[in-house]
Structure 1
Amino acid sequence: MKFSNKNHELHNTSLIMVSKTLISISMYLMCIIVFAQNKAQKDKLSFHSFSITPIEVFFNEFSGGVAITGDLSYAVNKNIFTFSATTGSEIAFFGRATSYNQLNILYGREFKLKKWLFVDTHAGIGLFFRNDSRNTKLIPIGIPLVTKLRFKTGDKFSIGFKFQANINSIDNIYSVGLLLQWNYL
């Protein structure tokens, strides 16, 4: 089936609207669940951490660029559920650069190797938005894989490295960056 350019744009616009609506509803419901929990019960959902990767370098099969990621994590016992958003762009001196955005929901675990050394692993599902140099917007489903190597510097703060991959049908992205994480549990 071949779509005309106008039909293709309408299809992409409707996918973006549905995606934004679903993500907004999910975030709203998660906030309600988090604030409605009784902190005395250990098996309830509670806020785990906030992290940002302000300096992140990504690459794919043909190019690379810079990105920034923000994560909000919630925990139930030892299970960690994370909402992650990433935006990145190629560095182009002439012409237009390809950019991408990711919105992911991840499940993971935290492993304590030493009192000050942690490894977090996450896998999930998400949306991968890509704008290429021809302004073509492509939105496939992606499978994000994340590993964090964290050095705990205090009771509430960790610094380390974040390794991330997004496997999708358009453009597999791999990245590494400086991780800053504030821990609440």
Structure 2
Amino acid sequence: MKIRVLCACLFICVFAYSQESDSKLAFYSISFSPINIYFDHHTSGLAASLDISLKKDKDIYKLFGLTGSEFVVSVLGPSKVESFHEIDILYGKELREGKWLYFDFYSGLSYFSHTINTPEKIPGSGTNSGGFSFTTYEYSYNEDKNNTIGLVLQSNIRFRTGKRFSMGLQFHSNINTVNTIFSTGLLLHWKLGRKSKLD
């Protein structure tokens, strides 16, 4: 609930500020990273991210969200699964090399939530599977959830393929006291605004 209120207040403030006639702050781009691989000190898995950014002069402000879950394949019943999500407020710069190559650098703060779901057998739930000596059980899940504030460092390398569209790689890290994670993946990036102002 707190994070929803924070995001709503942020959007209201940004929208109100961007409407001032003497302000050049405006929506700049949206990005989507559908396939990320993340890892920490003991697990790894798949993740996805989405962000929207605003720009004033050469300064870029980004609202970024990332979520991921441990990739687990188990044939012996449920196993412990770790997952996380984060919402970040970032500040950065975009560097352009030539007409088609971009480097982006960001840093900022994050609300980071880490969850561990641990299965436990429900007593008395075991049933035999046909004539085999294999017993199946029902499980309940214990959820252990921890939230914290993290330091975020992010960089992108993008290759421009159209007037608005570019694609590349995103490198992301969230350094925190609960579970520091690193991720990398494909980045799809669209510029917003009037075509006449696109360079």
Please give the TM-score of this superposition, normalised by the length of structure 2.
0.79
Q: Root-mean-square deviation (CA), in Å? A: 1.4
The residue aligned with 2:52 is: 72
Aligned residues: 165
Q: Does the alignment pair 1:33 with 2:17?
A: yes
Aligned to 1:153: 161
The alignment status of 1:99 with 2:68, answered yes or no, reads: no
Map of 2:123 onto structure 1: none
Aligned pairs for 1:129-140 within 5 A: 129-134=113-118, 135-140=143-148
Secondary structure in structure 2 of the residue aligned to 1:92: coil
Name the structure where helix makes up a greater proportion of residues. 1
Query: In the alignment, what sits opposite 2:35?
Result: 55
In structure 2, the gaps of 5 or more residues are 119-142, 193-197
Q: CA deviation at 1:103?
A: 0.2
Please say if 1:85 is aligned against 2:69.
no
Flag the 1:157–1:37 CA change in 2: closer, same or farther, 3 A.
farther
Structure 1 segments of 4+ aligned residues over 2 angstroms from their partners? 17-20, 31-34
SS state of the match for residue 29, structure 1?
Answer: helix
More strand by share: 2
Quote the sequence identity (%).
33
**1:173 pairs with 174, 181, 187, which one?**
181
**TM-score, normalisation: structure 1:** 0.84
The amino acid across from 1:46 in the alignment is A
Residues 64, 90 of structure 1: 8 Å contact kept: yes
Aligned to 1:4: none
Please give the alpha-carbon distance, in whole angstroms, between the structure 1 residues aligned to 2:92 and 2:144. Answer: 33
